[in-house]
Amino acid sequence: MKKATAIFLFFSLLCACNNRRDLIIQQQVQQNIQEYRKKYRAESEAKFLLEAGHLADSILLAEARTALADSLARHKPVKPVQPPPIPPIDSAGVKPIF
């Protein structure tokens, strides 16, 4: 009977240790998953902010170029029509004096 009890205790301790080992492994896996998610989220956020910055810069540059083109180029005065030529007062041809 003592042998059976000892064997039972041995196997129950072995199973208990095995359960504890599985628990430690699960905790380590969960910790690794959380670290990976945190790292991935930080990288994704950095990429997103970089792309958003480029888009914002492009939009601001396009708006500035449009505003500059509209402000001066289209407000130039129109070239006036050239008036008709004025006829000379004396329309007689020039003759040599001598």
DSSP code string of 34-49: HHHHHHHHHHHHHHHH
pLDDT at 46: 95
* Domain boundaries, given as residue ranges, for the chain: 2-71
Would the pLDDT of 6 be above 70?
no
The pLDDT assigned to 3 comes to: 73
Q: How far apart are CA 33 and CA 81, in angstroms?
A: 78
Token pair recorded at residue 77:
């005065």
Q: How far is CA 87 from the centre of its chain?
A: 68
Summarize the confidence of residues 75-89 as an average pLDDT.
83
Instruction: Map tokens 């540059």 to a residue.
Output: 61
Predicted TM-score (pTM) of this structure: 0.45
Handedness of CA 62, 64, 69, 75 (dihedral sign): positive
pLDDT tens-digit readout, 11-25: 665 566 566 777 888
The closest alpha carbon to 59, from 51, 47, 73, belongs to 51
